[in-house]
Amino acid sequence: MLVRDAMSTVVLTIGPDHTLRQAARLMSARRVGAAVVLDPETSGVGILTERDVLVSVGRGQDPDQERAGAHTTTDVVFAAPQWTLADAATAMAQGGFRHLIVLDEREPGPVGIVSVRDIINCWTPVVAAAV
């Protein structure tokens, strides 16, 4: 199975000036654990995860004052749609993260996002059938 088979093509995108509360509300409403942060000033792509929000709140920071840009991971590992799910899982395990932004060289921006949950949902029926 490939990343394109598991990824979500509906990607939540926010700007760096969104507050963490706004980001959390959007992630909660969409039932996703990450948002792609697009910064038009730097033309950069980053990711803000539920863990980033949790760490900020745990430090006592105000989610109504903290901006997504200050908590965004910009040193991102990207996946390609043609990667195998094993490749994606390996990258996640080695990097210690649970989401990969999916880029396709033929498209200008992110084409999807794949999470550990997406991979598990694809692998579970295959593993169950093999047992």
pLDDT values of the chain reduced to their tens digit, one per residue, 131 residues: 999 999 999 899 999 999 999 999 999 999 999 999 998 887 688 999 999 999 999 999 999 999 999 999 988 899 999 999 999 999 999 999 999 999 998 888 899 999 999 999 998 877 777 77
d(CA 14, CA 22): 9
pLDDT number for residue 92? 96
Q: What is the CATH number of the domain that holds 125?
A: 3.10.580.10
Amino acid in position 95: G
Query: What's the total number of domains in the chain?
Result: 1
* CA distances from residue 15 to 19, 40, 74 in whole angstroms, order as listed: 9, 8, 13
Question: What domain range is 100 assigned to?
Answer: 3-130
Structure tokens, 41: 């000033």
Measured CA angle at 112 (ends 79, 7), to 5 deg: 80
> Which amino acid, 43?
S
